[in-house]
Structure 1
Amino acid sequence: MSELFTVAVIGSGTMGAGIAEVAASNGHQVLLYDIAGDAPARAIEGIRQRLASRVARGKIDAQRSETILACLRPVTELHDLARAGLVIEAASERLEIKTALFKQLAEICPAETLLTSNTSSISITAIAADIPHPERVAGLHFFNPAPVMTLVEVVSGLATSAQVVDTLCAIASRWGKQPVRCQSTPGFIVNRVARPFYAEAWRALEEQIAPAETIDAALRDAGRFPMGPLELTDLIGQDVNFAVTCSVFNAFWQERRFLPSLFQQELVLAGRLGKKSGHGVYRWPGEHQPDWLAEKGTGAQARQVITARDSVTKNPLTELDELLLIETDGETAQSLSARRQRPVVVFDLSEGDTVVLAAAASNQQADTDKAVRYFQQQGKRVLQIADYPGLLVWRTVAMLVNEALDALQKGVASAADIDTAMRLGVNYPRGPLRWGEMLGWQRVLRVLENLQRYYGEERYRPCSLLRQRALTEGCYES
């Protein structure tokens, strides 16, 4: 393909308009089509306003803006797309609509035209199943906002040719994007691997472990995720996030680790869709700040502090007089306290200036206060939640690692592409596979096994590749 082939974009909503802007910004003539005849013109006007804002802020000059706009052309007939070298469909997320559309495109466009879908979860194999030359059909999944986000998932169906994938990756790279290759599987990479980030937060909220603000603060400030999961679902839209979760859940034959949240369903049924409706988990606009334990424990200091590692789990362990301060391995503080016959406070994985604590119910308040004071003296802000196995950050990270390993084992994508996708697509502080390696496969396995034992659910079942890596790590250490 020549570098300046014509690009057709079907669908002029937020994603379609964003993709059209990306292509036009790279010098392509762009044909923008929508079933609603006047929608492409409105989309181009929206692009004009965004470009004008960038000109006003000195990001681009006026000539550059006019050059981009000159590349955009609204069309009203699907037949107008026949001269495109690349078609990117960004229409409704319904399989029957996409299959009908691609059948029409296959009749209209020459055999060498690449036909792609921006779908986030629908099977590329299913879209291509009944059209001539299915080898030219692939997924080209951009992330919102398309002009800003660098990640593009290039998705292969069963019939997609390797040459088509190579070509699409080269195009994405020329457009300043970072392509990752993956196989057509529910949710592809990002929307599959990211499910536990939301699911564990919903579970904690449903089990009333802590207020939403505290759950979000734990993942954001201790886990160093860019945003708390509950706040993020409000920004995405509760209806959109819930629909993706349901889609992945059903596509995996109701696999329990993708189980949707009944509480989120209630929000959707109530029309509390998040920021766009003014009310979701939170009210918008508004501040969503947790209550920090700023004053707790100031009068309860330990007389003797001994820091070591637990002889069995190898986890960090600190003795504050009689109190044991233990990094969580998926057991509750009360379980550890009962077994050790001493007061216990467990703390969460922390990569920032915040630490999450949970105390055994049998503790004296003075014992728990010592733990709070201990971390405050290290300059940490303290969040205390109810006694909860795996706390908030550790169990979320362990589930992300497990899901990434499962995707790797099943050939969805390479390890490098999985980690790249999660860093760039959802801005995680590091890729989940790299995270698992840093934390230690045995520790991740132990957290999941303890969670599975506590709940008696398949949801926390460790994948076999995690068990293999834990065994290898154990042999290496010995």
Structure 2
Amino acid sequence: MDRLINNIGVIGAGIMGIGIVQIAIQSNRQVYLYDAQQDAAKKAYDKLNTTLSRLVEKNKISQTDLEQSLANLHIVENIQELHICDLVIEAIIEKLDIKQSLMKQLEAIVRPECILASNTSSLSITEIAAQCQQPDRVVGYHFFNPVPLMKVVEVIQGLHTNTKIIDQLSELARKMGHRPVRTKDTPGFIINHAGRAYGTEALKILSENVASVTEIDLILKKSLGFKMGPFELLDLTGLDVSHPVMLSIYNQYYQEPRYRPNVLTQQMLIGKKLGRKTGEGFYKYIDQAKQEIAIIPKYSAHRHDLKTVWLSTEFDDDHKKLSTYLTQKGIQINLNAQPNNEDLILIANYGDDATHSAQRLGVNPEQVVCIDMLGNFEQCRTLMPSLLTQPKMIEAALDLFNQPNSETIVIEESLGFVSQRVLAMVVNLACDMAQQKIAIVEDINAAVKLGLGYPFGPIEWGDVIGKEKILKVLERISSISHDPRYRPSPWLQRRCKLNLSLNYQR
């Protein structure tokens, strides 16, 4: 098992197989490409030649690099020719029985020390290896599309996988220019598992009519810095892909409430509103271009003779930021224990809605407007009135917070706004993954940043935002809604109580 990996077999000349071949030949490995379909491997050679030629044109590689890389690629017409390999990676159809059959076939061809790797994105490595005579040499090696650009690979240890193989493939990944992340053989591994929180919570918020598709996408991009809103992302991936993954993870974890899918995507799947590929999903598309949906505000910002604001905050940084902002706007802050009848009651709350905030503070809900301070206050301000808030108070708050080059959005009452709910679920789920030792914290953070494009790793994000804020959001939503999906992770709770970084692991 300690042999150097120089000869790599790749089975499957589809988009993933070609991507794996490219990074392997560019790292000067000898690669033997096989595909059961006649001429598929030869066509892959031509595609790689075209891809590498474009890199030469862009001065990314030299002509010599191109020639050397292609010289490293060997097209084989008979699977028996893979007997020379130190490692064979299968990148074939995602069907368990076919992968199991292939692994058994390979055992009769390759040497006993040859590593057998699967590029599966969703199947259990332990199950793929179950019928093998040497299950200890079967491993997961999950790349992401497009392989040359997505610089991360999950190295998945099945129940029987030899740990030395994990070390070897991690080192190989680095030589091929990719960041290896080690993970246990669990549903979704790291990236598909950690990614469950973003879309599922956004769908729940939408189903509660808290905000529109456009508003939710806008808030999460502007406030938290996601590159794509959850509904843009679902449309890009396609619900024919996304919904079955949601359902699969939910069922593989025996209906764990954290992963609960939503009836909205099931209905859209039935109705063929799959996203870009069908011209309509959460948005409409013309020639693959998204058609924007205008936000129709329920309230307008009107000038009011607002002179005083009664301010309630739960964290010092929020108080300082809002106090400074109000003072600069010429607004006096009422420092009395209780507000006056004409005050705008501005509450920077976490986890509860305007109704519960008003009750908690013992103030008149007709004057209450809540504001979310969790995300980027300069880019996006989310306001939440109660069911009884006077329109003049909402309009006054809009006038107060409307600024050029920033978004101000009024949502319906929600436990935890939009950003708070989504980010709390993202952080909490990752904390649970660390608690279960699916992967180490460093690998969870790296995998999510590289694989999902989040601005921070999910566990480090909790420290950046403030772990106490995340915990408060979850505790309040959980206690009010009694929905177990929001229960705080023990990892999060202990580190808050001990005032440790969420990244602390031992």
TM-score, length of structure 2 as denominator length? 0.86
Aligned partner (choices 352, 356, 377) of residue 335 of structure 1 = 356
Call closer, same or farther: CA 1:450–1:26 in 2, change over 3 Å. same
What is the CA–CA distance in structure 1 between the aligned matches of 2:348 and 2:11, rounded to whole Å? 51
User: Is the 2:309–2:345 contact (alpha carbons within 8 Å) kept by the matching residues of 1?
Assistant: no
Q: Aligned with 2:75: secondary structure?
A: strand
Structure 1 residue 389 displacement after superposition:
1.3
Q: Aligned with 2:499: secondary structure?
A: helix
Find the counterpart in structure 1 of residue 114 from structure 2: 113
Call closer, same or farther: CA 1:366–1:473 in 2, change over 3 Å. same
Q: Aligned with 2:139: secondary structure?
A: strand
> Mapping of 1:32-111 within 5 angstroms?
32-111=33-112
> Mapping of 1:14-413 within 5 angstroms?
14-284=15-285, 285-288=289-292, 291=295, 296-300=300-304, 302-305=306-309, 309-310=313-314, 316=319, 322-338=343-359, 339-342=362-365, 343-348=367-372, 349-351=374-376, 353-377=379-403, 380-413=406-439
Call closer, same or farther: CA 1:118–1:17 in 2, change over 3 Å. same
AA in 1 matched with 2:107: A
What is the CA–CA distance in structure 2 between the aligned matches of 1:301 and 1:121, rounded to whole Å? 59
Listed one character per residue, the Cα deviations across residues 288-330 of structure 1 (whole Å, up to 9, x for unaligned) are: 365386993251363135666348x996476686223233411
What is the CA–CA distance in structure 1 between the aligned matches of 2:270 and 2:74, rounded to whole Å? 39
What is the CA–CA distance in structure 2 between the aligned matches of 1:229 and 1:199, rounded to whole Å? 9
Structure 1 residue 225 displacement after superposition:
0.9
Structure 1 residue 51 displacement after superposition:
2.7
TM-score, length of structure 1 as denominator length? 0.91
What is the CA–CA distance in structure 2 between the aligned matches of 1:389 and 1:396, rounded to whole Å? 11
What is the CA–CA distance in structure 1 between the aligned matches of 2:240 and 2:425, rounded to whole Å? 23
Gaps of 5+ in 1: none
Listed one character per residue, the Cα deviations across residues 164-204 of structure 1 (whole Å, up to 9, x for unaligned) are: 11111100011111111111111111111110101011112
What is the CA–CA distance in structure 1 between the aligned matches of 2:56 and 2:275, rounded to whole Å? 31
User: Is the 2:219–2:418 contact (alpha carbons within 8 Å) kept by the matching residues of 1?
Assistant: yes
The structure number with the bigger radius of gyration is: 2
What is the CA–CA distance in structure 2 between the aligned matches of 1:436 and 1:264, rounded to whole Å? 29
Tell me whether 2-11 or 179-188 shows the greater mean CA deviation: 2-11
What is the CA–CA distance in structure 2 between the aligned matches of 1:283 and 1:49, rounded to whole Å? 34
What is the CA–CA distance in structure 1 between the aligned matches of 2:76 and 2:268, rounded to whole Å? 38
Aligned partner (choices 428, 451, 458) of residue 454 of structure 2 = 428
Q: Aligned with 2:290: secondary structure?
A: coil
Find the counterpart in structure 2 of residue 438 from structure 1: 464
Call closer, same or farther: CA 1:437–1:335 in 2, change over 3 Å. same
Q: Aligned with 1:31: secondary structure?
A: strand
Kindly tell me the number of residue pairs found equivalent between the two proteins: 473
User: Is the 1:220–1:227 contact (alpha carbons within 8 Å) kept by the matching residues of 2?
Assistant: yes
User: Is the 1:407–1:413 contact (alpha carbons within 8 Å) kept by the matching residues of 2?
Assistant: yes
Percent identical residues: 35
Q: Aligned with 1:286: secondary structure?
A: strand
The Cα RMSD (Å) is 2.6
Structure 1 residue 379 displacement after superposition:
5.4
AA in 2 matched with 1:211: S
Structure 1 residue 212 displacement after superposition:
1.4
Structure 1 residue 95 displacement after superposition:
1.9
AA in 2 matched with 1:67: Q
Alignment of 1:416 with 2:446, yes or no, is no
Call closer, same or farther: CA 1:67–1:265 in 2, change over 3 Å. farther
AA in 1 matched with 2:375: S
Find the counterpart in structure 1 of residue 328 from structure 2: none
Gaps of 5+ in 2: 324-332, 335-341, 501-506
Listed one character per residue, the Cα deviations across residues 388-435 of structure 1 (whole Å, up to 9, x for unaligned) are: 111111111111111111111111111111111111111111112112
What is the CA–CA distance in structure 1 between the aligned matches of 2:476 and 2:317, rounded to whole Å? 15
Q: Aligned with 1:108: secondary structure?
A: coil
